[in-house]
Amino acid sequence: MRLSNHVSIITGGANGIGFEAARTFAEEGASVVIADYNEEVGAERVASLREEGLEVTFIVVDVSSHESAAQMVAKAVSIYGKVDSLINNAGITDDAMLKKMTTEQFRRVIDVNLIGVFNCTQAVLPTMTEAGKGKIVNTASVSGAYGNIGQTNYAAAKAGVIGMTKTWAKELGRKGINVNAVAPGFTETAMVESVPKELVQQLKSQIPLQRLGKPKDVAYAYLFLCSRESDYVHGHVLHVDGGIVM
Ligand code: CAA
Ligand code: NAI
């Protein structure tokens, strides 16, 4: 068990990569908080993992709200007494070409994918600082690292996540808190289902490993960055993308 006596909050844990991470962490002995705004799916997912004997709790959150993020972390601490890791995984897309993208579309994605990461990290900081240790993992993207047609808002947010990761690594290292990011490539979840099929085929041919990522590929990277095996890895952006960004 790589995460025994470990409490982890996984935002966006009701679906896709976050849900796979919740299962992976719980199987490694962690107590997992799935923090998501989709209450219905979140509750179903928690029930299914509990049936397998895993220690998982659902807490509703809208990461784009500072207050909601603070309430979510306070609730997690009241249940488990501490937070050892925070995975800032919740995210959305709202794609459009630059000429068609509205300011509302731009703001919506920034609010969730960038400000959401800020809100949750700020909320968890007092408890990790008090403990003198913690692991923060931010979910970036191939789009934030090298841009992607149709994703002005999303690429801006994810590039911002990389900038915050490096800044927090510098600020929080002396508090014993590790901060890293994972930058997944195109991964088989609902998010990629919105991409036109021909484009996905075209994309696959550009990936050296010639396949899309699976949620488990990303979950394992989160696991590494939350385990003691990565204690000296800090301010790093781990690309999990089949080699598309080198
Ligand atoms: N590469 C090359 N050309 C592209 C392209 C691409 N990736 N995307 C669009 N184009 C071209 C189209 O072929 C089209 O060319 P023509 O004018 O010559 O026909 C032109 O750009 C305009 O494209 P659309 O007709 O598709 O324009 P639209 O306004 O109808 O739709 C769009 C725009 C919503 C951005 C749509 O193209 C789209 O959904 N693209 C996919 C965006 C994408 O990759 N999203 C990733 C989602 S998954 C994710 O975000 C996870 C992650 O972290 C990577
Ligand atoms: P998904 O759409 O399957 O799951 C995202 C989850 O986030 C959902 O459960 C949703 O309810 C939750 N969520 C959205 N907005 C929220 C909010 N305001 N507050 C709380 N929860 C919210 O997406 P997927 O693919 O699992 O993505 C997970 C992360 O990985 C995202 O940050 C995404 O940007 C990133 N990513 C995904 C890639 C992919 O190809 N699927 C590639 C690179 C990065």
pLDDT digit of tens for each residue in the chain (246 aa)?
A: 999 999 999 999 999 999 999 999 999 999 999 999 999 999 999 999 999 999 999 999 999 999 999 999 999 999 999 999 999 999 999 999 999 999 999 999 999 999 999 999 999 999 999 999 999 999 999 999 999 999 999 999 999 999 999 999 999 999 999 999 999 999 999 999 989 999 999 999 999 999 999 999 999 999 999 999 999 999 999 999 999 999
Helix residue ranges, H only, 52-91:
66-80
Q: Is the CB of 221 under 6 A from ligand 2?
A: no
Q: What is the pLDDT of the chain when averaged over all its residues?
A: 98
Q: Are 69 and 119 contacting, i.e. CB atoms less than 8 angstroms apart?
A: yes
The pLDDT assigned to 87 comes to 99
ipTM over 0.85: yes
Q: Are 181 and 165 contacting, i.e. CB atoms less than 8 angstroms apart?
A: yes
The pLDDT assigned to 209 comes to 97
Interacting residues of 204 by C-beta distance below 8 A, sequence separation 6+: 210, 211, 212
Residue among 37, 80, 154, 222 flagged as catalytic:
154
Strands of the sheet with 31-36, listed across from one edge: 56-60, 31-36, 7-11, 85-88, 134-139, 177-184, 237-240
CATH of domain 6-240: 3.40.50.720
The pLDDT assigned to 160 comes to 98
Nearest-atom number in ligand 1 for the CA of 144 is 53
Placement of tokens 């010639």 in the chain: 210
The pLDDT assigned to 115 comes to 99
Q: Are strands 134-139 and 56-60 parallel, antiparallel or unpaired?
A: unpaired
Count CA atoms closer than 13 A to 2's CA, side-chain side: 14
Q: Considering Cα of 162, then 164, then 165, then 167, what sign does the dihedral take?
A: positive
The pLDDT assigned to 40 comes to 98
The pLDDT assigned to 104 comes to 98
- Residues 78 and 60: their CA atoms lie apart, in Å, by 15
The pLDDT assigned to 196 comes to 93
Minimum CA distance residue for ligand 1 atom 31? 96
Q: Considering Cα of 44, then 45, then 46, then 50, what sign does the dihedral take?
A: positive
- The residues pairing with 9 across neighbouring beta strands, listed in sequence order, are 33, 86
Q: What is the 190 CA–ligand 2 centroid distance (Å)?
A: 9
- Residues 158 and 141: their CA atoms lie apart, in Å, by 6
Three-point CA angle 240, 140, 126, nearest 5°: 120
Tokens of 55: 């220690």
